Amino acid sequence: TSMISLIIPPKDQISRVAKMLADEFGTASNIKSRVNRLSVLGAITSVQQRLKLYNKVPPNGLVVYCGTIVTEEGKEKKVNIDFEPFKPINTSLYLCDNKFHTEALTALLSDDSKFGFIVIDGSGALFGTLQGNTREVLHKFTVDLPKKHGRGGQSALRFARLRMEKRHNYVRKVAETAVQLFISGDKVNVAGLVLAGSADFKTELSQSDMFDQRLQSKVLKLVDISYGGENGFNQAIELSTEVLSNVKFIQEKKLIGRYFDEISQDTGKYCFGVEDTLKALEMGAVEILIVYENLDIMRYVLHCQGTEEEKILYLTPEQEKDKSHFTDK
């Protein structure tokens, strides 16, 4: 039970975690079994040493694994690993048991698509993204639109015109901000867009000529919500989960369809199998790479001792057991 998994999300404080570890150290000192006690205390001390290397939590959070594992040969081996994940990790975790917990890291790999949200109503607009379970507010602003009123007599038309003008300018500002946030290097940087709002602004925006065509084609859903701002953003996420989970599936289906089209038309623009695919990759000839999720293959580079000859092998776990692959025939 001396394997510690510690995950600290981006906005957490090192000082809070250090205090928590000090408390854990105190609790572990009371473990009755001497072997177990020393083992757990050793693991906690290792984590504390690792934390001292950081004066603040990195932008994407921090993952630490410390403890003693038993190797395949039955020997004990100390493991101390600390790293910043490749994208923000939205999980807080401290566990001390008989295995390292990597579920949160696996989740980071599976939720790769980033989706854009525009929440727009009569009081303001919010722009955000959702990637996996990480939501981020990119920008928000408020607006003061004149309300409809029945007064004014002859001026009523002028008031109506002013109101329409302000509304038009507001929709334009939202459309322009969307381009700044969701298009980078001439490409849309999200897998899809959700427009949400309580009034008909979202419909107006989606149909407006001012709304960039590239973004218009990415709109997945219009969502009716009862709030604006951050509460509206949360509600929009809840109401869009089904649509968002389908997007990845549809994209994968399209890719596979395109691959089979190339094969059936015999265009010569395709290859399959590990060796041919990796050769094409090394030549820089691959535009789209499709990888099977459970592909488990090791790449070995073998050097011949007498000559300078080099041999590359790609082996499955089953093939690895056959030692004849690693000796001269």
Domain limits for position 9: 3-110
pLDDT number for residue 150: 57
Q: Which of 249, 264, 294 is the last residue of a domain?
A: 249
pLDDT number for residue 324: 82
Question: Which residues are paired to 188 by β-bridges?
Answer: 183
**240 and 133 inside one domain:** yes
pLDDT tens per residue across span 233-262: 999 998 998 888 777 777 788 888 999 999
**105 and 124 inside one domain:** no
Question: Can you tell me the mean pLDDT for 56-81?
Answer: 89
Is residue 218 predicted with pLDDT exceeding 70?
Answer: yes
> Is residue 93 situated within a structural domain?
yes
% of the chain at pLDDT higher than 70: 96
> Is residue 157 situated within a structural domain?
yes
**157 and 105 inside one domain:** no
pLDDT number for residue 162: 85
> Is residue 142 situated within a structural domain?
yes
**78 and 14 inside one domain:** yes
pLDDT tens per residue across span 181-208: 999 988 999 999 999 998 788 999 999 9
Is residue 1 predicted with pLDDT exceeding 60?
Answer: no
More confident residue, 179 or 167: 179
**93 and 160 inside one domain:** no
Is residue 151 predicted with pLDDT exceeding 70?
Answer: no
At 132, is the pLDDT very low, low, confident or very high (cuts 50, 70, 90)? confident
In 132-190, where do the E strands start and end?
134-142, 183-184, 187-188
CA atoms within 13 A on the CB side of 326: 9
**125 and 176 inside one domain:** yes
pLDDT number for residue 157: 79
**16 and 30 inside one domain:** yes
Look at the chain and report how many structural domains it folds into. 3
At 17, is the pLDDT very low, low, confident or very high (cuts 50, 70, 90)? very high
CB atoms within 10 A of CB 88: 19
Question: With contact defined as beta carbons under 8 Å apart, do 17 and 81 qualify?
Answer: no
> Is residue 267 situated within a structural domain?
no
What is the rounded CA–CA span in Å between residue 183 and residue 165? 27
**83 and 60 inside one domain:** yes
Q: Which of 249, 264, 289 is the last residue of a domain?
A: 249
pTM: 0.54
> Is residue 48 situated within a structural domain?
yes
Is residue 39 predicted with pLDDT exceeding 70?
Answer: yes
| Range in 38-47, 116-125, 293-302, 320-329 with the lowest mean pLDDT | 320-329
Helices (H) and strands (E) in the chain, counts: 9, 13
> Is residue 264 situated within a structural domain?
no
In the chain, where do the E strands start and end?
3-8, 62-70, 76-83, 93-97, 114-121, 124-131, 134-142, 183-184, 187-188, 192-197, 219-224, 298-303, 310-315
At 92, is the pLDDT very low, low, confident or very high (cuts 50, 70, 90)? very high
Arithmetic mean of pLDDT over the chain: 88
What is the rounded CA–CA span in Å between residue 88 and residue 102? 15
**231 and 137 inside one domain:** yes
Is residue 329 predicted with pLDDT exceeding 70?
Answer: no
Is residue 100 predicted with pLDDT exceeding 70?
Answer: yes
Question: Can you tell me the mean pLDDT for 162-189?
Answer: 92
% of the chain at pLDDT higher than 90: 47
What is the rounded CA–CA span in Å between residue 138 and residue 123? 18
**218 and 298 inside one domain:** no
Q: Which of 81, 110, 139 is the last residue of a domain?
A: 110
> Is residue 258 situated within a structural domain?
no
> Is residue 140 situated within a structural domain?
yes
- CATH code for the domain of 14: 3.30.960.10
More confident residue, 69 or 14: 14
**126 and 104 inside one domain:** no
What is the rounded CA–CA span in Å between residue 200 and residue 224? 9
Question: Can you tell me the mean pLDDT for 143-159?
Answer: 72
**13 and 121 inside one domain:** no
